[in-house]
Structure 1
Amino acid sequence: MLRQIFLSLVVALVIIVAIHLILGNMLVSWNKSQLNELTERSILRMELAADRAVSTIADIHISGLNKCSRGTIEAYRKLIFSVASIKDIRLWDGQQSCAGFNADTVATDLAADSAWESARNPTLQFSASDSADSSRFNIRWTAEEFDIVAVLNSGGLLEDIIPAALRESLSVKVVLNNGRKIASYTPDKPSSGIPAEWEPDFMVSASSERYPITAYAHIPSNILWSWHNFLSLNLEILITLSSIFIGFLTSRVVFGPPDPVNEIDRALVNGEFVPFYQPIFALNSGAMVGFEMLARWKRKNGAMVMPAKFIPLVENFGRVDPLTFSLLRQARHDIVPLLQKDRSLKFTFNVTTDQFLSPIFFIDLQEILIVGKFPLECVVLEITERQQILDLDLARKMVSRYAAKGIRVAIDDAGTGHNGLSSIQTLEAEILKLDKFFIDGIVENQKSRQMVELLCQLAKQYNMAVVAEGIETSEQAAVALAMGIHEAQGFYFSRPVPIAQLLEQMTSDTVKRAVSATPRLLEPPPCAALPELELVKAG
């Protein structure tokens, strides 16, 4: 079972991981394509701004505004106001410089030729701003007689193309081929995943074919797995449950349905079958006079398996001997000290008809009892009625063999099994145990009481002690005692319990007080008249 569960979980885990890897890789691939598209859009924005500036410079040249004069400066200013992306226009006409607004910097801007990058059109050159403001760049048109420079404002060109979901994690910068930055977008509150420097987890780039411009987009790798993530909680739950189901089906194919016999064998090897004990009490005093050992299956996880589910399998598939001997070996440590201290106690346990008739079982049982130092005069074998005794002569001989060793024999479930009353007459057993089936109706059912009276008379005729099983109420205990039954067991007194609770009950007077409070009937009452009986209190 554990191997099947383990395989189911492993298969489910593999499926879940595989699905997430496949969907994750698809998601990452899609997000990478989106980032590539974003860098291309950044390049397109810069190209459009450059195209507008180049067009403006061409208009200036065509209009003859290539000589410094007051009229030229006024014309430049009008152009600056009409084109939002142009911040200033500057001219060097070979003799003097002028500008729409900042004429003092014209000579400086044009002097550093090494800072300029040529475009595909050799008459056009680009440079970054020399100031700390990286949101500006320059485009120069070089002619034989003059140079015109358009200063572009690139600060707002990237803002509106950044997706809202990436505004706290994506960084974009646009640089010239010499590496100088001409535009950028950096989050105001970057997420913890963004490095302080440009050492990217993931970066994509795109370059202009016409201008010396390259755009870079950087994003932490973990954002690639979360951006556009369509795996909702409901879908995650569906994937998990589906994977577990597929894992379960796979384990069923590999291992097949669990074999109950193999489970029992494993439980025997692992020591999962443990002895519980149901005390037997004297009905007239409440004193404990013995206890019946019963098998309980306690799995390693603490779950209890009901006896009705495993006892038939144990008996039908030949596991009853290993179970019986395993319980006796454990009971050796629990019960032997009690029996050696008080040899009037009875220690009873069930054996099947096949076990009882087997000479090999007789030898093996005797060895276990002797090695375990069980006082044999305390031991009582209860022959169950679930199997028919086919050889009554052999059964009678086995009773004698057990009696010769001091071991007594009881007939369990009397009157309910395959052997009927013949076993009472033939076996010469010493104890007759009345089944709960008859005890349940002993108070109100006339037929049940008549059957109990018949069994008690037969037991008395064959000198057998009678024990009532399944006593659950004080009324049942009172009627049983009035009918001459002196010993009983059942939930009214105690359920089957582990050894620790049995030891507590042996030192407690709870049952004695309950028995003392049980009414004493002068005689078994008529079934219909029980509430009106005269009662004699004990003590």
Structure 2
Amino acid sequence: MSVGSGTRKLALILAAVTAISVPAAAYFAAEAFMRHKLQSYLDTTAQTVLQRIDGAVDRALVSLHDAETRNVAGCSPTDREALRVLVFESPVLKELAVHGPDGAVRCNNIGSLVQITPASTPFVTANPRVSLAVAVTRGAHGRALRVFWNPDGTILYGGIMSVGLFVPHQVIQRGNSGLGIDVELVPGGRLVSVRGAGAVEGSRQFSAVAVSGSYPIRVVATASEGAWRLEHGGIIWLAVVVGIVLAGLMAAVLLAICRRRDPMADMHRALVNGEFIPYYQPILDIDTGRIIGCEVLVRWRKPDGTIIPPGAFIGEAERSGFIFPLTLDLMRQAAAEVGSLYAARPHMKCGFNLCAAHFQDQSIVEDVINVFSGTELKLNQVLLEVTERDPLPDMELARAIIARFQDLGVRVALDDVGTGHGGMSYLLKLRVDVMKIDKLFIDAIGSERQSTAIVDSLIDLAAHLNLDVVAEGVETFDQVEALRRRGVRSAQGYVFAPPLPGSSFVQLVEAMEPAAATAWLPRKKSLRG
């Protein structure tokens, strides 16, 4: 996967944003979670207290109904004893009294009347026989809830409930959240108002309200956000720490993406620094054993001396368009490096590879003229190879470009014949000068009858079209002999020499082809001279 400079910039921005936003998001998420937990806690607490109160009132009414069932109507010893037993058996009633139709107390379980100051008028419930009121009693009871049961209008049973039992101590003492519980008779009779420790002044207050469906009772639970934060703030900082760790991991991944090399940027830098260098693979006349030219192949020599083969970068270069400056730079280097060698050996050809994209614009002709103008490597010593592996998008334009090169004395070869898109049509339509038979078929000579037949057919076709033939990838002397028997004279491959750096190629040519010995050779319009 290649990463462009734009992507790297985006990755850097994302890394910076991640380093800031993820811990911040974790902090705000923890804050939201904490508030949600606080609200949930208040909702649960309000409902718990309300259910406790509803249950207590229900039990009180059961005792009042029992008084009716036992026919307690006056203040006889039997009636008073019945009232005492009912209060003793009730977990919620502190006093049980019998009232007349006018509300006056006739009798209670104590024997003496308790002084009661009404704090609210009675509130009728969903059951018209039941009503509730707030009262303040003198003595031990303090503020109380009065529950009335009116079975027939002639007698009234009333019970006093201590509201201290309504809110469990464990609810108030649970934590340091500044919890408050208010119990009211709707629409405004206050029964209980309890506050826990730990409220923070000026802190935001959260609340939850629970309303009874049976009685006019409302429970309001409140808590201080600041106190809750003090009690549960560790959650926030844990979330921040986790967010920082996560942000670090994400930023590290993004920065690792940034550090990944951008092939295009690397190739442009390498071109400026002269890291792309030509290697030369000799082409020999297999009849005479003499060097008649070479194919220039690119290598990427890294600053540490590592040599990268073209298969690792040529594909990207062709897709990106980098192949254009790379090809011209390779031509310039070759002209400077072997120009004088070729000037003394005018029969030798120097081959350069072009891709299909080079034949989409006639400007390639002017580029080649400009590269070799004023150099010792002449245009009539240049061989341009167009591969058949990729399709030519405009066959007519490609033919016109090839014709212009041929008018300049440049020879054109069709490379990798038999393996690509064009087949025989390229040979017929492009009117090239040289056919290069791919290594795929040369390897099979003598071992695969079908491939041998293809090689024979290509050689025959070249003869009929008056094309020179070069066999590529020759690696054994048996292949050399087989090619010689078929009339092929030009070949390249490891059996002769691998691609060589410039200095080694120059030494090889000077050893095998002394300049004085080649001066007499006639100049022919062929690859061989």
TM-score normalised by length of structure 1: 0.48
TM-score normalised by length of structure 2: 0.48
Higher relative contact order by CA 8 Å / sep ≥ 6: 1 or 2?
Answer: 2
